[in-house]
Structure 1
Amino acid sequence: MANSPSGDSMTERLVRVLETFTVDRTVQTASEIGRRAGLPSSTAHRIVDDLVAAGLLDRDDEHRVSLGMRLWELALRGSRALRLRQAALPHMERIQAQVREHTQLAVLEQDSALFLERLSHPDAGANITRIAGRLPLHASSSGLVLLAHADAELQERVLSGQLSALSPDTVTDAAALRRRLAGIRAAGYVVAPGSVESVSTGVAVPVRDAEGTVIAALSVVLPRDANPDVAIAALLRAARGIRSDLRATSG
């Protein structure tokens, strides 16, 4: 791919354009995309035009731009995330029928917890998680499970970096987090009261593939004062079921 005068490749510029879209920012103008991607206006307009022509972006009658359906279609073809979600969803529905709060599935992606699915009861308590949204590994219950089972290099990178507090109860001390990660590996689950929001408790367990590698975290978000025992049992049972289903389809 040809480089720009700044040294960026075309691929890097395309990615920067697509990354300007977030769960909260789904519609933009080409000029707004250019500013957020740090691109000259003419370059941003040209890239947006090309992506619209390819169907990866859509443009409405007011010339505002959104992610295109073809991008979604291509992303799902042969996606390991889709296979995992399909295997997990029946088990998540059974958990949800018991806890009647929030049930979530997350994977490790670029040093954060990326949420693939979320089921919520209409009367459930607070929860900031969204599908395709991210949370820091050190703060969320799902992230803590994923971090506990990540390789040593990733753990050190996260623990030596900036550990921001999402709530007054978020653990931001690296030494305390190391102890907590060891406890998660020993117990097989984590209970994280107030870690993301003071009014909630996150409970999460690891999900393993057919070979036993941790590939995801399954979690529920409960009211802060709720007893987590039923949720822990349901999550562990579901994680075993997901692994069994993945093993059955791995051949």
Structure 2
Amino acid sequence: MRAPTVTGKVMAILGAFLPGDARLTLTEICRRAELPPATGHRLVRELTDGGFVERLPDGSYRVGMRLWQIGAQAAEPRELRELALPYMEDLYAATRENVQLAVLRGDRALYVERLRGPTSVPIVSRVAGELPLHATAVGKVLLAFAGPETVERVLAGGLTAHTPSTVVDPVRLRAELREIQRTGVACTQEEMSLGTCSVAVPVRGPGDRVVAALSLVAWRHSADLRRLAPAVLTAAGALSRDLATVSRRR
């Protein structure tokens, strides 16, 4: 096996910060990056000097502003987010529920934007975080309109139960995906976290290709998904038209 390069070691250090990790100790970074402490300490120090990692007063580390500045320049998610934000804000104003926008990344749903308010139900998603396709409404939309190879890979990889309501039966999930393809709407009830429900619809780009999923997440005991679905469809439709317009201008 070829020894890892310096670039590979640096990528391993940065990759040690998983979504939701506010801070890590040097020991945790080295363990996750599979690096000797001396090597990890040297590289982390250099990354800190460059602003890619920040050292906190208690000696732990977090992702630095320099890395955020570079990541924010990623063209495709930035353009999608900028176009989507006005419609997401309108959707939040109309419903006062969590509004989420996600794209397909490998076999996961990557969240590129999220809006929530003080009365919105607490949710586990976060911007730049990833969640499983089979247990989220946005994920089911993205999976339903992904290629068959993606569907087969997700099913073959095992469907983890995050709550007692998570759909882990491949036959049932296939049936749900067919229904989502037919209706253009995905609904979940407490599949990712207890007490929540969600409705998601596709956002389409050039050639009618599904490029993202837009959703609302609300309290299960008080939300009526049948009432919320038309609002999400309207917002996603307007965003899809904007994406088509931008594509034609290029």
Pair in the same fold by TM > 0.5? yes
Spell out the pairing of 1:137-156 with structure 2 (5 A cutoff).
137-156=133-152
CA distance in structure 1 between the aligned counterparts of 2:9 and 2:153, rounded to whole angstroms: 26
Q: Which moved more, 1:217-226 or 1:144-153?
A: 217-226
SS at match of 1:135: strand
Q: Which moved more, 1:87-96 or 1:75-84?
A: 75-84
CA distance in structure 2 between the aligned counterparts of 1:202 and 1:70, rounded to whole angstroms: 35
Q: Which residue of 1 aligns with 2:200?
A: 204
SS at match of 2:194: coil
Q: Which residue of 2 aligns with 1:158?
A: 154
Q: Which residue of 2 aligns with 1:235?
A: 232
Spell out the pairing of 1:36-51 with structure 2 (5 A cutoff).
36-51=32-47
Q: Is 1:167 aligned to residue 186 of structure 2? A: no
Counting aligned pairs with the same residue, the percent is: 39
2:128 to 128, 132, 143: 132
Q: Which residue of 2 aligns with 1:193?
A: 189
CA distance in structure 2 between the aligned counterparts of 1:186 and 1:193, rounded to whole angstroms: 20
Q: Which residue of 1 aligns with 2:24?
A: 28
5+ long unaligned stretches in structure 1: none
CA distance in structure 1 between the aligned counterparts of 2:194 and 2:72, rounded to whole angstroms: 35
Q: Deviation per CA, 1:122-144, whole angstroms, max 9, x where unpaired?
A: 11224222222221100011110
CA distance in structure 2 between the aligned counterparts of 1:241 and 1:11, rounded to whole angstroms: 42
Does the aligned pair in 2 maintain the 1:126–1:199 contact within 8 Å?
no
Q: CA deviation at 1:46?
A: 2.1
SS at match of 2:207: coil
5+ long unaligned stretches in structure 2: none
SS at match of 1:121: coil
Q: Is 1:214 aligned to residue 210 of structure 2? A: yes
Q: CA deviation at 1:37?
A: 1.6
Q: Which residue of 2 aligns with 1:7?
A: 3
Q: Is 1:91 aligned to residue 92 of structure 2? A: no
Q: Deviation per CA, 1:16-48, whole angstroms, max 9, x where unpaired?
A: 211221343222233321012211112211221
Q: Which runs of 4+ in 1 moved over 4 A?
A: none
CA distance in structure 1 between the aligned counterparts of 2:76 and 2:40, rounded to whole angstroms: 31
CA distance in structure 1 between the aligned counterparts of 2:122 and 2:26, rounded to whole angstroms: 35
SS at match of 1:201: strand
Q: Is 1:104 aligned to residue 111 of structure 2? A: no
SS at match of 1:47: helix
How well do the aligned residues superpose, as a CA RMSD in angstroms?
A: 1.8
Tell me the TM-score normalised to structure 1 length.
0.91
Q: CA deviation at 1:190?
A: 0.8
Does the aligned pair in 1 maintain the 2:20–2:129 contact within 8 Å?
no
Tell me the TM-score normalised to structure 2 length.
0.92
Q: Kindly tell me: are residues 28 and 241 of structure 1, through their superposed partners in 2, closer, same or farther at Cα, counting changes over 3 Å?
A: same
2:64 to 62, 68, 71: 68
Q: Is 1:248 aligned to residue 245 of structure 2? A: yes
